[in-house]
Amino acid sequence: MELKNIILEKEGKIALVTINRPAALNALNTETLSEIDLVIDEIEKDSEILAVVLTGAGKSFVAGADISEMSDKNVIEGRKFGILGNKVFRKLENLEKPVIAALNGFTLGGGNELALSTDIRIASTKAKFGQPEVTLGITPGFGGTQRLARVIGVGAAKELIYTGKMINAEEAFRLGLVDKVVEPEALLDEAKALANTIANNAPIAVKLCKVAINKGLQTDIDTALSFESEVFGACFSTEDQKEGMGAFLNKQSLVGKFKNK
Q: Which positions touch ligand HXC (CB under 6 A)?
A: 24-25, 27, 63-68, 81-82, 85, 106, 108-110, 132-133, 136, 140-142
C-beta closer to ligand HXC: residue 66 or 119: 66
List, in order, residues 6 or more apart from 246 with CB less than 8 Å away: none
| Residue 83: CB minimum distance to ligand HXC, A | 9
Q: Is 244 exposed, middle or buried (0-12, 13-18, 19+ CB in 10 A)?
A: buried
Residue 133 designated active-site: yes
Rounded-to-integer distance, Cα 206 and Cα 208, Å: 5
**Residue 85 or residue 98: which is nearer to ligand HXC going by CB?**
85
Q: Which is nearer to ligand HXC, 98 or 141 (CB)?
A: 141
To ligand HXC, the closest distance from the beta carbon of 56 in angstroms equals 12
Return the number of the residue (30 or 94) whose C-beta is nearest ligand HXC: 30
Q: 162 with 204: CB under 8 angstroms?
A: no
- In the complex, minimum distance from the CB of residue 106 to ligand HXC, in angstroms, rounded to a whole number: 4
DSSP state of 28: B
Annotated catalytic, 190? no
Give me the catalytic one of 69, 113, 185, 230: 113
Contact predicate 201/260, CB 8 Å: no
Give the separation between CA 221 and CA 99, rounded to whole angstroms: 25
- Minimum separation from the CB atom of position 140 to ligand HXC (A): 6
Q: Which of helix, strand or coil describes residue 73?
A: coil
* Residues that are catalytic: 113, 133
